[in-house]
Amino acid sequence: MLFTFSLVASLCAAAGAKPILTPIQMIEAAGPAAGVVITKCSAPGQLALAYDDGPYQYTQKLVDTLTSGGAKGTFFVTGTLYGCIYGQKAALQSAYANGHQIASHSWTHPQNFGSLSTADLTSQMTKLETALVNIIGVKPTYMRPPYLATGGNVLPTMKTLGYRVITDDIDTNDWNNYTPAQSQALFTKAGASGNGHIPLMHETYAGTVNTLTPWLINWAKTNNLKIVTVAQCLGDPTGAYVNGTGNSQTTC
């Protein structure tokens, strides 16, 4: 029996074959389940900086700040909230090329996202998918719902579409007029122990880009945290995207 196993293993290795995964390993390899709310990283020692509502005029600056600080960020982008997404094509391509994660935040960021029909939710997601395929060549498998709305048809629809649903465990309240110092205090209070944080931040605020983000890069280094993408912090480093179908559109 030992000889047979060794022989098979040797032949597989010689042929460059990948080992056969058990059912549990297959599930783990597939990454987080779709349509299930995720609030934190799956392991300690990391921090996943996640920014909503872009792309915007600060996107390239944020990409540069993260990259120069040795950090990876996740950009939950929309199609039209702060202008047409194609207007920031170069910044999104720069983010993608530098290893940051591009994820979905819906096409128009509707205030009633949580009460939309399945058809309308699907339209919100697929319109953005097409634009992202046009811009970066792939479509995302991660999303954060506008206003963190996960009720109604949201989760069943995201499951059908194959989206991992991200919310947060620290709300920086930058959207609520918190100063960077007030947001920083939230991280200091939460601490760096336990599974890594996935904060709610917005790349549309100068204070978040210019002050809070550099502070968080230093805070992470002080606390021996690695700043990674949301997919990486969930043990899914290769699962952030799938192939999709684009078109010739270049405007919204």
Domain locations along the chain: 33-243
pTM score above 0.85: yes
Element (H, E) at 88: none
Which is the catalytic residue, given 52, 53, 168, 236?
Answer: 52
DSSP per-residue letters across 46-62: EE-EEEES---TTHHHH
171 annotated active-site: no
Q: Is 169 a catalytic residue?
A: no
Give me the catalytic one of 53, 168, 202, 236: 202
pLDDT in tens, the chain (252 residues): 333 334 333 433 334 444 554 443 444 457 899 999 999 999 999 999 999 999 999 999 999 999 999 999 999 999 999 999 999 999 999 999 999 999 999 999 999 999 999 999 999 999 999 999 999 999 999 999 999 999 999 999 999 999 999 999 999 999 999 999 999 999 999 999 999 999 999 999 999 999 999 999 999 999 999 999 999 999 999 999 999 999 999 999
Identify which of 145, 68, 75 has the alpha carbon closest to the alpha carbon of residue 107.
Answer: 145
Class of domain 33-243: alpha beta
Cis peptide leading into residue 55 (ω within 30°): yes
Do the Cβ atoms of 237 and 48 come closer than 8 Å?
no
